[in-house]
Structure 1
Amino acid sequence: MNPSPNAEPKGSVLLVDDIPENLRLLTDILTQQGYQVRSVTSGAMALRTAVAKPPDAILLDIKMPDMDGYQVCESLKANETTRDIPVIFISALDDLLDKVEAFQVGGVDYITKPFQVEEVVARLESQLTIQRQKQQLQQEVLIRRETEEILYQSRALLSSILNSSLDGIAAMQAVRDVGGTIGDFRCLVVNPVVAKMLGKTREELIGNLALRRLVQQIDPGLFQKFVDVVETGETLESDLAYSTSEGDRWYHYIAVKLGDGFAVTVRDITSRKQIELALQAANEKLEVLANLDGLTQVANRRRWDVCLEQEWRRCAREQQSLSLLLCDVDYFKRYNDAYGHQAGDDCLRQIAGAIAQAAKRPADLVARYGGEEFAVLLPNTTADGAAQIAALIQAAVHDLAIAHCQSDISDRVTLSIGLATLIPHPDGSPETLLTEADGALYQAKQQGRNQTVQAIASAVR
C-alpha cells in the first residue's frame, strides 16, 4: 500500500551503492513504504551526505570502487555526528567472514543479495525501532539524573520540589536496635506521590516507623534491599510491578544512601512499559513474518536456507540421516492460465496446508521453495520414513480434489516429488542433498508425473 502524499515519513534512509539499478530498486521499495530516501553512488559522497544531514539509517553496499563499505562504516563510526546512525550492510557477499567483518566495523545488520522486499523492510523497521527506543531511554536517564541532582539542593527548595514533583520522593532514617542492626526506617520526608502510591496521607507517614510493614505488602525482599543501600553505600536502581486499586502499575525507583538512611525517587513508568511490551511483541511478530512466505504462510526461502544448513551440521555431527522432499505442482502454469492467478494462489495455499499436515513433526520444516515448488526437510528420517511422508503428502493433495481440466494425467491437481536421503559428511555441503532431490524430481516428471521418485544415492534406510 502506498503511503498518503501528506503522510509523515517513517524516517530518512541513505542508500549507498555504486550500481544505479540497485539504488533505483531500493528507492522505489522504501519510498512506497513511506520512507524519505536519498541515494549516493560512492563512499566519499556517503560520508559527506551523512555528515551534512544525518539520516535515520544507512543501507550500505560493500564492494565499491573508491572506498569499500567497511571503510565507509569505520569512518561513520569515528565521526561524532554519524557514529550512532545504524548501518545495515546489503551485499551479494555471502561468506561468513564478510558478515563478521561487517559487524566488527560497526554494522547492526547484514542483508544478502538477492534480497526479499519484506526482509529489507522488516529489518530496517526493526533497527529504527531500536534506535528510537535507545534515544527515548537516553532521554529518560537524563531526566532521572536531573531528578537525583534536585535531591541534593538546599532544604529551602525541598518543600517546593516535593510538592510539585511528578516523581515520588522520600527520605528515610535508619532505626537500629542495641546491637546496631537496622530494624526499621523512620520516614523523614515524603511527597504526595509516594503517599498516594502507599495508600496513606503524608501525615500518617512522616515521623512514623512504618516502612518495613508497608514495603512487605509490595515486595517481601524490598526492605532488605533498602538496608543494603544504607550498610554498603551502593545505589539501588530497579523496576517494580505493583498492584493498586487503579490496576497494575510499573514504577522505576532509585535509592541512594543519605546519612544513616536513604533517599528514594520513584517514577511511574507504566506507559513506557506498556509501549516497550507492545514494541517487543511487534518485533517478535516482524521476526516471524520475515521467516514466512506471504502467500502460503509456510517457511520462506530465507528460513529454509538457514534450517537446512543447521540440520546438515547437526546430522553430520550426530551421524543421523537427513531426508529432503522437493514437491512440484504438476502443470501449474496451465492451471493458472485456465483458472486465473487468484485461483492459482488459492491452490498453492491449500497444497501448502496439506503438505504441512502430512509433515507435522516438531523438527519437520515445510517451505515454499519457489513458484509452485515446495520443499520438506525431514531430520533424523530414513529414506523409508521419508517415502511414507511423501505418500501421505500425495494422498493429502489428492483428497483436496482441486479440479484441473488442463492436466494430462488427472482430473485434479497432483504433485511430483523427488526424495533424497543422506547421512551428511562434516566436510560436505547441503547442496549435495538438494541436487539429489532435484534429480529425483526431474525423473518423476519424466516418468509421467504424479509420483514420488527416490534418488539412487539415497541409501540410508
Structure 2
Amino acid sequence: MMNHSSENKGNILLIEDLSDNLQLLSGLLLLGYHVRSVTNVKMARKILKAKHPDVIVLNINTSEVNCYQICQFIQRHQKLINIPIIFIVALDNGFDKIKAFQYGVTDYIIRPFYLNEVVTKLEMVLTIQRQKYFLEKEIKKRKKIEDILQNSRALILSVLNSSKDAIAAFQSIRHSKTRKIKDFRCLVVNPIFAKLFNRSQNDIIGKVGFKNLIAQINQEFFEDFVTVVETGESLEKDFYYPQEENCWYQLVAVKLEDGFAITVRDITVSKKFEIRLQEGNRQLQLIANLDGLTQVANRRCFNDYLKKQWEKHLQKQQPLTLIMIDIDYFKLYNDHYGHQQGDECIYRVAQGIAMIIKRPTDLVARYGGEEFAIILSNTKIEGGLIIADLIQSTIASFEMPHEKSKVNSSVTLSIGISCLTPDHHTSLEDLIGNADKALYEAKNQGRDRIVSF
C-alpha cells in the first residue's frame, strides 16, 4: 500500500452502480488515479483480498451493495482495517453520520458533487495515509535500530562483565570559562576495573572523581589522560601497583569523543618473566664480558668498549688515555709459587687496579695472561700518569712476596701509557701501539716503572 509510481496518485476502489459512477470514474482516471470499480459485495471482497486499495469510495445508495456489510468485512480483517472509507450519500438520504463513523467511515461526500470536491477529499485522505504509512515505516525502522542498539548494549555489557581486563569509559568535565579539563565522569565500568580500586561499580558509574581515583596509582597519570583527550594520541604504559599477588599492569587509553576509553590488563606473570629474562640476559652479558679469574672485563669487552670510546672521543674531540700494565717477572713467580698462587696474584693485582678506577666511563680489563689494560675517557696524559702512580703504590702496599723478582722482593708492575685526541689522521691502532711501545720501554728500562708515549 502507498507504494506507487509518480504517475499514479493513488489506488481507489469505487463501489457504485456502473451507470452512476461512470462520470466520476472517468474524471479520476484522467487526473492520474488508478481506479477499480465494482457493483456488488462479492466483487468488492474479492478485490479487497487480492489487492489492498489506498481508499475505498462507497455509494450507500448502490442497490447491490450493503455498505455497512462492507464496513464490517473490513473491520474484521486486520490488514484492511486502516484503509480509509469515504461514503457518497444523497442530500435527502437521511444519512446516519454517527452510525457511519462507528463502522469506521473516514469521511463522506454529499451528492450532487463536483469532481474537484471529490479530489480534494481524496487528497486529504491520501495525504494522511501517506504520512501514516511513512510514520509506520519510520517507527519500524527506529524499532529495528532500537532492537539492534539494545542487543548491542546487552552484548557490550556481557563482554565488559565477562572480560578479565579492567575496562571503563570516561567523559571530560571542563571549566565553564577556560574549557580546560578539570576531571572526568565515569560513563561505564566493569567489575574488574572497580575491583582494581577497591570500589563497587555503583561507586564509580556516573560519578565525577577520576582524578582522585587515578591518584591511587600515580598522580602524574591524570595529565596523561588529559593529553589523550586534547591531542587524540593513544596512551600505552606499564605501571607497578601492588595488590595482593598482582602488581604489574598495562593500561591502554584511546580518545572517545570528549573523553576516553581505558583498558587495564594484569601483566604480572609476563612482567615477572620479562624481568627474570632481562636479569638472565644481564647475567649472561656480564659473564660474556667478564674475565672468569679476575672478575674484571675480558679482552672481548675491552675491544668493544675501546672502539666505542674512540668514536665518541672522535666526535667530541676529547683526549682518550690507554694504560697497559704487566706484572714483572710473572713467569718466574708462577714457576716458583705454582699456578694456584699465580692465579691468586693475578686476581689481587686486578682487584687492586679496580679499586683505583671508579668512574663509570672508565674500564679495567684483563688484556691477556698477566697483562691488564685501562681505558680512561676524556683524560689527558697527566691524568693517566696520576692513575698509574696510584696503581703502583697500591700494589706495592699489598707486599705480595716475589723471591724470584730481579727488581724487588715484592710484586711490582711495569706500566706504559699513551694518550690521543682522535682525528682523521690517527687510528685506534695508533693508541694501542703507542701504549704497547711505552710498556715495552718500561720493561727495557728495568721494569717497576711508568713510561708514557
Q: In the superposition, relative to structure 1, how do residues 247 and 401 fare at CA in structure 2: closer, same or farther (>3 Å)? A: same
**Number of the residue aligned with 1:435:** 433
Report the CA distance between 1:370 and its aligned residue. Answer: 0.9
2:353 to 346, 352, 355: 355
**Number of the residue aligned with 1:396:** 394
1:88-127 to structure 2, matched below 5 A, reads none
Residue type of the alignment partner of 2:335: D
d(CA) in 2 for partners of 1:438, 1:338: 27
SS in 2 for 1:417: strand
**Number of the residue aligned with 1:416:** 414
Unmatched segments (≥5 aa) in structure 2: 1-148
d(CA) in 1 for partners of 2:184, 2:380: 69
Is the 1:237–1:252 Cα contact (8 Å) retained in structure 2?
no
User: Does 1:304 find its partner at 2:305?
Assistant: no
**Number of the residue aligned with 2:273:** 275
d(CA) in 2 for partners of 1:229, 1:440: 61
1:155 to 153, 158, 166: 153
2:263 to 258, 262, 265: 265
User: Does 1:197 find its partner at 2:196?
Assistant: yes
d(CA) in 2 for partners of 1:390, 1:162: 68
Residue type of the alignment partner of 1:407: S
SS in 2 for 1:154: helix
d(CA) in 2 for partners of 1:174, 1:319: 53
1:265-344 to structure 2, matched below 5 A, reads 265-312=263-310, 322-344=320-342
Q: What TM-score, normalized to structure 1?
A: 0.53
d(CA) in 2 for partners of 1:315, 1:212: 48
- Residue-by-residue CA offset, 1:187-222 (whole Å, 9 max, x unaligned): 454322112112222333345455455345555566
Report the CA distance between 1:437 and its aligned residue. Answer: 3.2
SS in 2 for 1:412: coil
Is the 2:215–2:221 Cα contact (8 Å) retained in structure 1?
yes
Report the CA distance between 1:343 and its aligned residue. Answer: 1.9
SS in 1 for 2:373: strand
* 418-427 or 337-346, larger mean C-alpha shift: 418-427
SS in 1 for 2:395: helix
Report the CA distance between 1:442 and its aligned residue. Answer: 3.0
**Number of the residue aligned with 1:139:** none
Q: In the superposition, relative to structure 1, how do residues 341 and 212 fare at CA in structure 2: closer, same or farther (>3 Å)? A: same
Q: In the superposition, relative to structure 1, how do residues 170 and 419 fare at CA in structure 2: closer, same or farther (>3 Å)? A: closer
**Number of the residue aligned with 1:83:** none
d(CA) in 2 for partners of 1:374, 1:402: 18
Unmatched segments (≥5 aa) in structure 1: 1-150
Report the CA distance between 1:235 and its aligned residue. Answer: 6.8
Report the CA distance between 1:351 and its aligned residue. Answer: 0.7
SS in 1 for 2:247: strand
**Number of the residue aligned with 1:239:** 237
Please tell me the root mean square deviation across aligned C-alpha atoms, in Å.
4.2
2:369 to 357, 371, 374: 371
Q: In the superposition, relative to structure 1, how do residues 224 and 305 fare at CA in structure 2: closer, same or farther (>3 Å)? A: closer
d(CA) in 2 for partners of 1:395, 1:216: 56
- Residue-by-residue CA offset, 1:350-370 (whole Å, 9 max, x unaligned): 111222334556655432111
d(CA) in 2 for partners of 1:209, 1:385: 63
d(CA) in 1 for partners of 2:362, 2:226: 54
Is the 2:227–2:233 Cα contact (8 Å) retained in structure 1?
no
Report the CA distance between 1:185 and its aligned residue. Answer: 5.7
Q: In the superposition, relative to structure 1, how do residues 155 and 305 fare at CA in structure 2: closer, same or farther (>3 Å)? A: same
- Residue-by-residue CA offset, 1:426-453 (whole Å, 9 max, x unaligned): 3122323333333343344344433334
Residue type of the alignment partner of 1:406: K
Report the CA distance between 1:176 and its aligned residue. Answer: 8.2
**Number of the residue aligned with 1:214:** 213
**Number of the residue aligned with 2:447:** 449
- Residue-by-residue CA offset, 1:36-60 (whole Å, 9 max, x unaligned): xxxxxxxxxxxxxxxxxxxxxxxxx
- Residue-by-residue CA offset, 1:351-403 (whole Å, 9 max, x unaligned): 11222334556655432111111123445655555444433333322222222
Residue type of the alignment partner of 2:439: L
Q: In the superposition, relative to structure 1, how do residues 229 and 392 fare at CA in structure 2: closer, same or farther (>3 Å)? A: closer
Q: In the superposition, relative to structure 1, how do residues 453 and 320 fare at CA in structure 2: closer, same or farther (>3 Å)? A: same
d(CA) in 2 for partners of 1:312, 1:155: 64
Report the CA distance between 1:299 and its aligned residue. Answer: 2.7
**Number of the residue aligned with 1:405:** 403
Q: In the superposition, relative to structure 1, how do residues 242 and 407 fare at CA in structure 2: closer, same or farther (>3 Å)? A: closer
2:344 to 346, 352, 368: 346
**Number of the residue aligned with 1:136:** none
d(CA) in 2 for partners of 1:427, 1:207: 72
**Number of the residue aligned with 1:121:** none
d(CA) in 2 for partners of 1:346, 1:303: 22
d(CA) in 2 for partners of 1:317, 1:199: 55
**Number of the residue aligned with 2:128:** none
Residue type of the alignment partner of 1:368: R
Q: Percent identity over the alignment?
A: 49
- Residue-by-residue CA offset, 1:94-115 (whole Å, 9 max, x unaligned): xxxxxxxxxxxxxxxxxxxxxx
Q: In the superposition, relative to structure 1, how do residues 174 and 342 fare at CA in structure 2: closer, same or farther (>3 Å)? A: same
Is the 1:417–1:453 Cα contact (8 Å) retained in structure 2?
yes
Report the CA distance between 1:258 and its aligned residue. Answer: 6.0
Q: Choose 1 or 2 for highest CA Rg.
A: 2
User: Does 1:170 find its partner at 2:184?
Assistant: no
SS in 1 for 2:411: coil
